[in-house]
């Protein structure tokens, strides 16, 4: 087994003898095997153990075992304790996801603090086969069917060339004990259901099922390299910043795959991406889809993608001066002692005698209407902005400045209301400007 791991490390150039690595050590068979194998092969390692306090005394037993093991082999050990259930509750995620986030975030912080070159984790062939099935059940793109990669950034997996049976047999040969996590024997977690229930059933059909899954995953890996290259070329051609031309996309050989690879990065689920793709032929502007982090709409024949932003606040303005809005932007109101005209949409020159404080700056609302300067009569703000081809996202970011009575005096950075603009009778001018103060 040790020779197999050695060749795998060399084949994928995973480790170097002149570098230093952290080994994630739970105390289970896989991580103990990884630690001992790296020591026997001559790599420089330190260990890290996370106590998630999820299994009462068993968690403390695991910690004691790891401490003794590292003392036995004179290995530096880094211990961390987590209140995992509280973290899961605060972040509204599962306990399993909480433990994953906590440990990988800590691993990376520790790696940076120590100046080490990688974090070694003990995933093996069985884990990779389970991952393929798990992704298949959840719904996945082609990458999800290629199993676990030997290296992902600073995360390194030297044991992906061996299976669980080889690991436990080698530990017996080495007369090395390990601990067993009882939660791995409970079928409540989805991955455990696959390990404990589904794979044994599949083995009744074909005892070699895990090897066959891995072989298929390896074959797909070669196809994926070609696929990735073509999708990257297509996206480079199709994307203009955060816009993707729909007509051009639909002319591509693999339009749905290109769309999937673009949007999955922004937390869109396969089902949502399917729905988006089915909606492309209608080119209905204003259609909108959101993920946890982003928002997407159809606008002028393009897909427009933006980061989700929180709702804009309402700010009261008691008098002329400088006011910070939404942390990033500033509203500046200056008083000029005569008629003052500045022809720039970033400014509004209003007759001071016509403006009644306090003012309010707020997002636009349904039914808002104003009298655009230079135009006849009143107009709905929504119609005015549509005529100027603003997207639904740009409309949401648009602000209005209202007077004491609620009349719109300025469509911010677009156009003032004609009723409040300076004229030949103006004696004092209020000069309004609204800008990003961090630029």
Same domain, 258 and 295: yes
Same domain, 125 and 93: yes
Does a structural domain hold residue 221?
no
Same domain, 334 and 292: no
Domain end marker among 250, 282, 308: 308
Same domain, 205 and 290: no
Which residues of the chain have a pLDDT value below 70? 184-188, 439
From the CB of residue 154, how many other CB atoms can be counted at a distance below 10 Å? 16
Same domain, 304 and 326: no
Same domain, 253 and 351: no
pLDDT of residue 439: 66
Same domain, 274 and 144: no
Instruction: Please state, in angstroms and rounded to a whole number, the distance separating the CA atoms of residues 157 and 126.
Output: 13
Instruction: Please state, in angstroms and rounded to a whole number, the distance separating the CA atoms of residues 189 and 192.
Output: 5
Number of domains in the chain: 3
Same domain, 50 and 163: yes
Same domain, 35 and 175: yes
pLDDT of residue 160: 96
pLDDT of residue 408: 98
Does a structural domain hold residue 345?
yes
183-221 per-position pLDDT tens digit: 766 656 788 899 989 999 999 999 999 999 999 998 998
Query: Does the N-terminal peptide bond of residue 358 adopt cis geometry, omega within 30 degrees of 0?
Result: yes
Does a structural domain hold residue 9?
yes
Domain hosting 8: range is 2-211
pLDDT of residue 322: 95
In whole angstroms, what separates CA 363 from the centre of its chain?
Answer: 27
pLDDT of residue 409: 97
DSSP 8-state class, residue 43: -
CATH of the domain at 59: 3.40.50.620
Domain end marker among 308, 328, 351: 308
Q: Could you tell me the CA-to-CA distances from 88 to 30, 52, 56, 91 in Å, in that order?
A: 26, 11, 17, 5
pLDDT of residue 187: 57
Domain end marker among 308, 338, 363: 308
pLDDT of residue 186: 63
From the CB of residue 384, how many other CB atoms can be counted at a distance below 10 Å? 21
Same domain, 140 and 86: yes
Same domain, 152 and 8: yes
pLDDT of residue 11: 95
């Amino acid at each position: 087994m040790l020779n197999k791991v050695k060749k795998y490390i060399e084949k994928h150039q995973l480790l170097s003898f002149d570098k230093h690595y952290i080994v994630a050590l739970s105390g289970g068979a896989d991580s103990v095997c990884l630690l001992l194998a790296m020591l026997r092969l001559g790599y420089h390692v330190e260990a890290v153990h996370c106590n998630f306090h999820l299994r009462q005394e068993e968690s403390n037993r695991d910690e004691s075992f790891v401490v003794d093991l590292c003392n036995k082999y004179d290995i530096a050990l880094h211990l961390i304790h987590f209140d995992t259930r509280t973290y899961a509750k605060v972040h509204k995620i599962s306990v399993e996801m909480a433990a994953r986030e906590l440990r990988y975030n800590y691993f990376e912080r520790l790696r940076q603090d120590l100046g080490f070159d990688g974090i070694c984790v003990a995933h093996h062939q069985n884990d990779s086969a389970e991952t393929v099935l798990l992704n298949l059940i959840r719904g996945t793109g082609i990458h999800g069917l290629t199993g676990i990669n030997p290296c992902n950034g600073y995360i390194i997996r030297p044991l992906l060339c061996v299976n669980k049976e080889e690991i436990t047999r080698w530990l017996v040969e080495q007369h090395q004990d390990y601990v067993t996590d009882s939660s791995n024997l409970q079928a409540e977690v989805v991955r455990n259901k696959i390990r404990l229930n589904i794979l044994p059933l599949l083995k009744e059909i074909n005892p070699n099922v895990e090897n066959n899954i891995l072989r298929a995953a390896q074959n797909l890996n070669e196809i994926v390299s070609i696929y990735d290259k073509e999708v990257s070329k297509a996206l480079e051609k199709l994307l203009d910043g955060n816009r993707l031309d729909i007509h051009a996309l639909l002319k591509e050989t693999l339009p749905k795959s290109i769309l999937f690879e673009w949007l999955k990065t922004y937390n869109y689920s396969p089902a949502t991406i399917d729905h988006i793709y089915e909606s492309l032929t209608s080119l209905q502007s204003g259609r909108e889809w959101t993920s946890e982090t982003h928002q997407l709409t159809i606008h002028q024949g393009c897909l427009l993608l933006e980061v989700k932003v929180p709702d804009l606040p309402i700010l009261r303005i008691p008098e002329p001066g400088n006011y910070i809005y939404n942390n990033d932007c500033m509203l500046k109101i200056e008083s000029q002692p005569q008629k003052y005209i500045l022809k720039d949409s970033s400014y509004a020159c209003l007759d001071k005698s016509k403006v009644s404080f306090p003012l309010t700056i707020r997002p636009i609302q349904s039914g808002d209407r104003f009298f655009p300067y230079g135009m006849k009569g009143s107009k709905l703000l929504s119609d005015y902005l549509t005529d100027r081809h603003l997207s639904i996202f740009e409309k949401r970011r648009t602000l209005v400045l209202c007077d004491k009575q609620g009349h719109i005096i300025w469509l911010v950075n677009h156009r003032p209301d004609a009723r409040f603009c300076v004229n030949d009778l103006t004696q004092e001018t209020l000069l309004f400007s609204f800008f990003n103060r961090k630029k």
